[in-house]
């Protein structure tokens, strides 16, 4: 099925860390309000994998902005969903302005990814749809920010996502993210190797006994049923940045990492 972009560009995101037992109960609760995401895969328990190359400066400015809890911050990442050489890679700018999430992204041809991540200027033919002016503007902004920050690919972050949406629109969305994993990105490799899913993953600890990240996402008004959900299950919002957790787990790889945890058992494996 061709990949269509249904991203929420302006939204609120509320994060919670829960265990699998709670996740099953939350799933039962939301069934009367939402349906499975269109890309859910039955063989993965109605989930799908997500891979993202996070960009950062040599002193890890974006990592440290998140770690310090800056209210206004951004992320630069290249997101993909499989190893298909013909499949798109989405260059994304994700900004947080207080509690509001703002997103821009552009679908890029995989053959262009290595050149763009190396700092080359974008051209229209880098796009999956060269005639999409909005996508090209997003790509130009992405490349400009990467240049200003001297940011390059640092870490591949991966996980499986079980997603639920409103039946007739994408204004309301609930996701369950599992098996959070990280691996250093090697820009010197051919792009097929640099983006492969079978790689040396580490899995950072999330919280004792709780390995599911629940996210409630909505545009506009906070749905009453979401308020009822958080109250019924006694859920408390948390700050949980997957990129930060993975860098902390991997240990230092440059002068910008102020503190770290080491994970010793790293093995090459596929996420799914």
- How do residues 15-60 score in pLDDT, each as one tens digit? 999 999 999 999 999 999 999 998 888 888 889 999 999 999 999 9
Tell me which residue range forms the domain holding 137: 10-269
Residue 5 within a domain: no
Residue 22 within a domain: yes
Domain count across the chain: 1
Q: In whole angstroms, what is the distance from residue 144 CA to residue 135 CA? A: 14
**What distance lies between CA 132 and its chain's CA centroid?**
23
Q: Per-residue pLDDT averaged across 4-15, rounded? A: 68
CATH (domain of 46):
3.20.100.30
Looking up tokens 């909505």 gives: 218
Percentage helix, strand, coil for the chain under 3-state DSSP, each rounded to 5:
25, 35, 40
Q: In whole angstroms, what is the distance from residue 191 CA to residue 173 CA? A: 32
pTM above 0.85, yes or no: yes
46 in the Ramachandran plot: left (φ > 0), alpha (ψ -120 to 50) or beta?
A: left
Residue 114 within a domain: yes
Residue 4 within a domain: no
Q: In whole angstroms, what is the distance from residue 102 CA to residue 93 CA? A: 8
Residue 1 within a domain: no
- How do residues 201-249 score in pLDDT, each as one tens digit? 999 988 777 899 999 999 888 999 999 999 999 999 988 899 999 999 8
12 token code pair: 């609120």
**What distance lies between CA 7 and its chain's CA centroid?**
12
- How do residues 82-109 score in pLDDT, each as one tens digit? 989 889 999 999 998 877 889 999 999 9
């Amino acid at each position: 099925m061709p990949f269509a972009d249904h991203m929420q560009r302006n939204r609120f995101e509320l994060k919670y860390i829960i265990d699998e037992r709670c996740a099953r109960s939350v799933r039962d609760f939301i069934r009367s309000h939402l349906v499975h995401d269109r890309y859910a895969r039955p063989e993965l328990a109605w989930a799908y994998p997500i891979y993202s190359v996070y960009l950062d400066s040599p002193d890890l400015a974006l990592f440290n902005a998140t770690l310090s809890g800056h209210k206004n911050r951004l992320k630069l990442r290249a997101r993909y969903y499989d190893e298909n050489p013909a499949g798109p890679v989405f260059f994304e700018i994700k900004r947080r302005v207080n509690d509001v999430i703002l997103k821009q992204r552009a679908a890029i041809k995989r053959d262009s990814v290595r050149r763009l991540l190396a700092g080359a200027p974008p051209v229209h033919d880098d796009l999956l749809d060269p005639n999409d002016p909005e996508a090209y503007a997003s790509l130009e902004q992405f490349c400009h920010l990467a240049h200003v920050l001297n940011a390059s690919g640092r870490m591949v972050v991966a996980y499986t996502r079980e997603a639920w949406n409103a039946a007739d629109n994408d204004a309301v969305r609930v996701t369950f993210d599992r098996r959070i994993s990280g691996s250093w990105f090697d820009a010197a490799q051919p792009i097929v190797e640099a983006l492969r899913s079978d790689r040396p993953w580490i899995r950072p600890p999330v919280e004792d006994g709780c390995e599911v990240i629940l996210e409630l996402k909505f545009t506009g008004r906070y749905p009453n049923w979401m308020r009822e959900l958080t109250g019924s299950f006694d859920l408390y919002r948390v700050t949980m940045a997957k990129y930060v957790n993975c860098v902390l787990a991997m240990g230092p790889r440059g002068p910008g990492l102020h503190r770290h945890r080491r994970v010793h058992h790293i093995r090459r494996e596929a996420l799914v």
